Structure 1
Amino acid sequence: MSLAVAVVGGLHAAARAAAVDRLLADVPGSVVLHHDLSAAGAGRVARTVRDRDGIVSSGQTPLVNDCACCALREDLVPELRRLADAAGTRLAIVELWDSVEPKAMAEVIASGGLTVTSVITAVDPALVLPYLGNGDDLAEAGLAAAATDRRTVADTFARQLEYAPVLAVADSPEADDEDMELLAQLHPTARRVPIGADAGHGEPPVGPRPTARPGPGGAGGGVPGPLARAALAGFDVEAAAAAQHPACALLPQEADDHGVSTLVWHRRRPFHPERLYAALEDLTCAAARSRGRFWLADKPDTLLHWDAAGGALCVESAGPWLAALPDAAWELVPPVRRAAAALDWHPEHGDRCNHLVFTSPGLDREGLTRLLESCLLTDAEYAAGRNSWRRLPPAFDTLLEV
């Protein structure tokens, strides 16, 4: 039998440990491979392999280019191949260190010829809002993976949460309905599975089931609990990457429940660069989490990515809009992106649009909508045409490092 590999990550360390222990208990022949990056300052990464009875092996690997994550990448696939050759190993659980993001590791594992059967992020619902609101650098929290790591707690947690098709949800006494609703609105398509042992045998999971391909062991195969079944259900690395691309990301839909709201704002008219730039702070702080794609009147061919959490905003170019490409270049574009553009095509602007989604408790939907609308081109500015738009002051050039 080929080795199944389940990636389990998340900044909520206690929830992650509980999810890993649940899998070890429920899947016979499972082992956990973990690289501890906390000693990276001493120039090494510690590796352990354990099963349900304790440590099986341990070792160290040196940093690569002063980067702990690079060392992890170099060591991960050889260790997994060694486990694949070991008789009786059915499932390798790759428990990621706190700030390691699952997307990069899943892609490394798949590129090494191994079968990723699931990516799971473990979550304590009571900690979702505090972590989304934490704009501290990972270095300040002692969680940086390299000296050059400039990520924040909030944006790292958001990516961990939104990439995984399965969320292992800890039983948190401090969590209330608002916390659970926030989690549901941030990632509505995720399969949310309880971690606790009393929830592990035969109870239905919370949320929808994924539509992934079945992996080794199938979706049942005698595995006793929903988290174990999710770990073996199957995972498509290419589809997961496409779902994160700002041009075709499956963003949350409108919602309003238990004090939590999601506002979906979709407009065809471009933003005025100066007015939008002046409003960035208010827009960034308006919601715990916001994301999406947008276009500026002075850069009509550039798809811009909006990614905000923890009171900080990242704006970056995601390449050209499809409408800006010559017909011959379309064959080089992934089919999923062409399909997404076709679903949202405008006769004049093509796939160019503003599609931003804001999710937060206590969201001021009306005020936020008014602010966004005020940043668009006016009727007169819009009627002046694209040549006039290009002459508008390039307010975003510094932010985009143009």
Structure 2
Amino acid sequence: MATPVVLVAGLHGTARTATVERLLAEHPGSLAIHHDLSEVSHGLVRRSVRDATRELDTADVQLAHGCVTCTVREDLLPRLVLLAPGSTLLIVDLWDAVEPRSVAEAVDCDEAREILRLTAVLTALDAEAMPDDITRGERLSEVGKPAAAGDQRYLAEVLARQLEYPSGLVLHGGDEDDRELSRAVLAHLAPVTPIHTVDSLPVVTGAPVCTAELAERVDPATAQLPCDAETDEIVTTVWRSRRPLHPARLFEAVDELVTESVRSRGRFWLATRPGQLLAWDAVAGIVSAEDVGPWLAALPEAAWDLVSPARRLTAALDWEDPHGDRVQHLVFTGPDLDPARFHALLDSCLLTEEEEAAGLDAWARYDDPFAAILNVRENA
């Protein structure tokens, strides 16, 4: 039978290390592998392998192109395959700023499936640091945690992806108040993900996880977005509409929307781009809008067989004539957030009834400030 593999991700090294050590202690015969990427910008990665009692092996790995993808392809996967026959469990202790999705999908590949069985993707979180870190707008390079040369990602951006993708979250450290606050924050940001502690970890040697399902939970077209919720001072509000958004009015509202919320994401459409499903992603005041492909309503019906069942199901649930699956579905989370004011601001960005009645030719003439962002990505 294939050897089980668990990934442990997380910006918080102490929480991640505590989780890895607990897994090693609970599973005799298990091994942990870690790639230190602190010198990856110079093409150098230091790999270590350990068991519950000691470090068994260390080596410096030279990479032609210093990046996480190279590390996984050229060293991690071959090493896991080599270690699998003599291990009861393989634990991949990911470097601080590595997002678990790319590694999970690399491990869960056809070529290695008879040897490796991905059974859990965990993100370890420091209960004291997490609520503050999700609001921090520094780049990883500014806090000494880049995962590649020229890594321009933001700390809060990476943390959001680390806690929204995995199959389980593990809290460590802090006092009871810290853990209570962390659970409250996570209930808003990752409401469907189980939360554990280092002393009570989930089973990690059972059935394999499905990386396709994990991806569908976060991909914009199929994302399982949070619902309306209020926990003490934290508020999550969901805004939905069928009508198209006026690009200039929405662009003008962006600063207010992202500075008054900590995390927001979802899918939307602009009157000037009726065929494009656009993804909204913002955290700690940093916002991005991205074209992630066509709405199903913009495709010929014969092409629907080419998309996943989850995508077709999401479209069916959202479908309403005359716009098909085109929908505004944005979710905002923040402290003391005022849902009524957010909804009023977003409603003011929609086309009026008269503008909507004017039709596609009139919409195409609107000023579109998003073009500078979206057209660049289209041409990249």
TM norm structure 2? 0.94
Could you tell me whether the CA contact under 8 Å between 2:44 and 2:66 is conserved in 1? no
Task: Tell me, in whole angstroms, the C-alpha distance in 1 between the residues paired with 2:245 and 2:174.
Answer: 42
CA distance in 1 between counterparts of 2:218 and 2:14 reads 27
Q: Is the 8 A contact 1:69 1:100 kept in 2?
A: no
Offset at residue 376 of structure 1 (A): 0.9
Helix, strand or coil for the counterpart of 2:48?
A: strand
SS in 2 for 1:160: helix
- Cα distance, 1:178 vs. partner? 3.6
1:179 corresponds in structure 2 to 182
Matched, 1:312 2:276: no
Aligned to 1:166: 168
Indicate conservation of the 8 Å contact 1:64/1:71, yes or no.
Answer: no
Q: Which residue of 2 aligns with 1:292?
A: 266
CA distance in 1, matches of 2:2, 2:179: 41
C-alpha separation in 1, matches of 2:90 and 2:245: 48
The Cα shift of 1:248 comes to 0.7
Aligned residues: 371
Cα offset, 1:176, TM superposition: 5.6
Unaligned runs of 5+ in 1: 201-226
Counterpart in the other structure of 2:70: 70
Distance 2:273 2:337 in 1: 30
Give the superposition deviation at 1:230: 4.3
Deviation (angstroms), 1:179: 3.2
Please give the alpha-carbon distance, in whole angstroms, between the structure 2 residues aligned to 1:69 and 1:140: 22
On the 8 A contact 1:10/1:16 being kept in 2, the answer is yes
Establish whether residue 10 from structure 1 lines up as the match of residue 10 from structure 2: yes
Match of 1:130 in 2: 132
Deviation by residue 1:219-268 (Cα, 9 ceiling, x = unmatched): xxxxxxxx151464531011112222101100111111221111011111
Match of 1:210 in 2: none
Cross-structure match for 2:120: 118
**Deviation by residue 1:321-357 (Cα, 9 ceiling, x = unmatched):** 0000011111111111001111111121111010001
Between the two proteins, what is the percent identity of the paired residues?
A: 44
Counterpart-to-counterpart distance in 1, 2:14 and 2:151: 24
Q: Secondary structure at the match of 1:300?
A: coil
Q: What CA distance in whole angstroms lies between the structure 1 residues aligned with 2:162 and 2:181?
A: 21
Specify the alignment match of 1:92 in structure 2.
90
Q: Is the 8 A contact 2:246 2:349 kept in 1?
A: yes
Structure 1: how far apart are the matches of 2:217 and 2:314? 11
Cα distance between partner residues in 1 of 2:85 and 2:182? 43
Q: SS where residue 80 of structure 1 aligns?
A: helix
Preserved CA contact (<8 Å) 2:233 2:335? yes
Letter in 2 for 1:158: A
* 1:384 equivalenced with 2:366 (yes/no): no
CA distance in 2, matches of 1:3, 1:117: 9
Question: Do structure 1's residue 102 and structure 2's residue 76 form an aligned pair?
Answer: no
Cα drift, residue 177 of structure 1:
3.6
Q: How does 1:219-230 map to 2 (within 5 A)?
A: 227-230=201-204
Amino acid at match of 2:137: G
Deviations 1:186-235 (A, max 9, x none): 10111111113xxx3xxxxxxxxxxxxxxxxxxxxxxxxxx151464531
Aligned partners of 1:73 and 1:105 also within 8 Å: no
SS of residue matched to 2:129: helix
Deviates more, 1:231-240 or 1:370-379: 231-240
1:52 aligns with 2:26: no
Amino acid aligned to 2:340: E
Counterpart in the other structure of 2:194:
191
**Is the contact between residue 42 and residue 149 of structure 2 (CA under 8 Å) also seen in structure 1?**
no
Aligned residues: CA RMSD: 1.5
Deviation at 1:41, TM superposition (A): 4.0
Query: Which residue identity is paired with 1:303?
Result: L
Moved more, 167-176 or 262-271: 167-176
Deviations 1:41-64 (A, max 9, x none): 443100011010110111121123
Measured after TM superposition, the shift of residue 306 of structure 1 is: 0.4
Query: Matches of 1:3 and 1:64 in 2, distance apart?
Result: 29
Question: In structure 2, how many angstroms separate the alpha carbons of the residues matched to 1:11 and 1:254?
Answer: 28
